[in-house]
A and B are shown apart, each in its own frame.
Chain A
Amino acid sequence: MVTLVRQEIFKLVHKKSTWATSIILLVIMTIFAVISRNHPNTIDPKAIFVSLFTGFDWIVLFMIAAASSIISMEFQYGTIKELLYRKYYRGEILVSKWLAMVLYSIYFIALAFVYSLILKLILFNGTFQLSETYGNKHSILVTALYTSLSGFVALWLVLSLVLLLANLFKSSAAAISVGIIGYFAINVVSSMLIIAIKKWTWLKWNPLNMMNYPNQVISPSLKHMTLLSTNELLIGSLVYMVIFLGISYSVFKRRNV
């Protein structure tokens, strides 16, 4: 398994897009940091720091693209046979790809987090302190950390669905669209969802509601709208992930090559 994950990482490392997206991420974060520094009333420096200078949203975008292509590219390039006719089991091949994606997402978040700290030191050294209380009870630094960790859970809820769709449709385009819409739709439909959940409470268990997990971690009062405790949202997210990945696994094992 270690060998297989290493091979997946080898492919990622040698793809230009891996490095291009990393650089784009850093450039965009810098741009938002500079705007916030020059117009602190338009973009609140503390709030934008907690969101890793918008880095997290871009990571979601890049990860959706990467996850949707990690299996479909093997079919596109005809390399799937080379992967599968070795001594490894099919399931191992799939899981190694998931693990490579987990590592890739951790890399992205760590990169954005560290770079956020650097931007804070350079551009906002006198503006605010990392130890200042922000929002409820935590310091800015801890809030940023919690946002990233809970965001990681929501990211993987989306990615597990993207991986499933990419597997079902054999194409990355459909998976990318659904993934992006799914992740960003939550902001659009959340108000409608809240009304719907009030009316039919069983709807609170739908996966879109689980996407509120990161928000509720930062603003616990959201539980009056999601009707679920923060821990229930976490568990719900994990259960959906297991379901989506489980279906992917059985689809991939049956697939004709």
Chain B
Amino acid sequence: MADTILDVEGLTKNFGSKKVLKNVSFSVEKGHIVGLVGPNGAGKSTIMKAILGLFNYPSGKITLDGQPVSQTSHQALEKVGALIEYPGIYPFLSGLQHLELFSNDGVSKQQIMDVVDKMKMGSYIKRKAKTYSLGMKQKLGIALALVNHPALIILDEPMNGLDPQANKDLRTIILDLAKQGTTFLISSHILSELEKLIDDLIVIDKGQIVYRGDMATLESGSTRSMVLQTSDDAKAKDILSQNGYKLIDSDHVSVVEDETTKMADIIKLLSTNNIEIEDVKHVHSDLETSLLDLLKNDKVKEG
């Protein structure tokens, strides 16, 4: 496929006898923002490190823009910027010196300052990095991933330690760059943030991919429900289930919604039975709920 920038095929990795990645395959399209999520220790960072050629893998194939990537072939990594686990910082250099150190020959001072401005780091960029707070270091790590204008940017937990404003700024930067054709692979535990960014989602659990697809599909697969607060919840539950409504087992009256569910019908049904409705809420499951459902139901066994 011409518009695929990253292709991972049958990737396997063991640490000792423990299998950390089992036959992982996915591809990433150019200009897409892809979220990589999963529980702690699922193998997210390991996948990212493999893509960055940081270790050998016994089987599988990784290609970046058509070029193979492994520990011994790094040529394609010219097109990649990354922040993995936590930002590596030399305490004796200033933020600006870090950016100068890691910027490619073609990157001008002006382009470096553009990244600094975008990340709003101007006020402290000339200070020694050892004086930086956690969030400042994180921003520097992200700036280092961006500075060479790579085609693919890999960010591992980029929102770590960022304040709400910085979070929003980062989102704007990522969305802008994606519009210009930059591809992102982002892992995060802050699902509410990730949800606002990503086009596609890869869910990994115990070293295996359990979901791969776009966000819309995942959301449509989840349940929508209507939560009612009534003058007599117990009675309301009885009446609704007698009338063929599917209820979710919970303290509240929670009705599963589908295309045929009409609120007016429910209101009518309850009021004819002398039950007052005090409040109605539509609950649409977010990424977090969908994901937790997915992980709860997945059949992956530890091995």
Residue ranges of A at the interface with B (Cβ–Cβ < 8 Å)? 3, 7, 10-11, 14-16, 73-74, 77-82, 84-90, 256-257
Contacts and interface: CB of A to CB of B under 8 A. Distances in A.
Given A79-B88, A85-B77, A90-B71, A14 B55 contact: no
Interface stretch (B30-38, B79-87, B210-218): B79-87
Interface stretch (B21-29, B90-98, B169-177): B90-98
B146 to A, nearest CB: 13
A14 B93 contact: yes
A89 B75 CA distance: 8
Interface stretch (B46-54, B118-126, B231-239, B246-254): B46-54
Contacts of B97: 10, 14
A78 B89 contact: yes
Nearest to B77: A87
B101 A10 contact: yes
Contacts of A80: 88
A29 B118 CA distance: 50
What are the 7 A-B residue pairs with the smallest beta carbon separation, nearest first? A79-B88, A85-B52, A78-B88, A87-B78, A82-B88, A257-B54, A87-B77
A90 B71 CA distance: 8
B90 A79 contact: yes
A81 B74 contact: no
Given A85-B53, A87-B74, A78 B101 contact: no
Contacts of B87: 78
A89 to B, nearest CB: 6
Q: Name, among B71, B78, B100, the residue most crowded by chain A CB atoms within 10 Å (CB to CB).
A: B71
B101 A11 contact: yes
Nearest to B15: A256
Contacts of B82: 81, 85
Contacts of A84: 52-54
18 contacts: A11-B90, A11-B93, A77-B88, A78-B86, A78-B89, A79-B88, A80-B88, A81-B49, A82-B144, A84-B53, A84-B54, A85-B80, A87-B74, A89-B72, A89-B74, A90-B71, A256-B55, A257-B54
B90 A81 contact: no
A168 to B, nearest CB: 19
B89 A79 contact: yes
Contact of A81 (B72, B75, B84): B84
Given A81-B88, A88-B74, 11 more contacts: A11-B92, A74-B88, A77-B89, A79-B88, A81-B52, A82-B102, A85-B53, A85-B74, A85-B77, A85-B82, A87-B75
A19 to B, nearest CB: 11
Contacts of A256: 55
Contacts of A10: 97, 100-101
Contacts of A90: 71
B258 interface: no
A158 to B, nearest CB: 25
B53 to A, nearest CB: 6
A77 B91 contact: yes
Nearest to B93: A14
Nearest to A17: B92
Contacts of A257: 49, 54-55
A141 B125 CA distance: 49
Nearest to A89: B74
Nearest to A11: B90
Contacts of A82: 88, 102, 144
B42 to A, nearest CB: 19
B101 A3 contact: no
B149 to A, nearest CB: 14
Interface in B91-134: 91-93, 97, 100-102, 105
B77 A86 contact: yes
A8 to B, nearest CB: 10
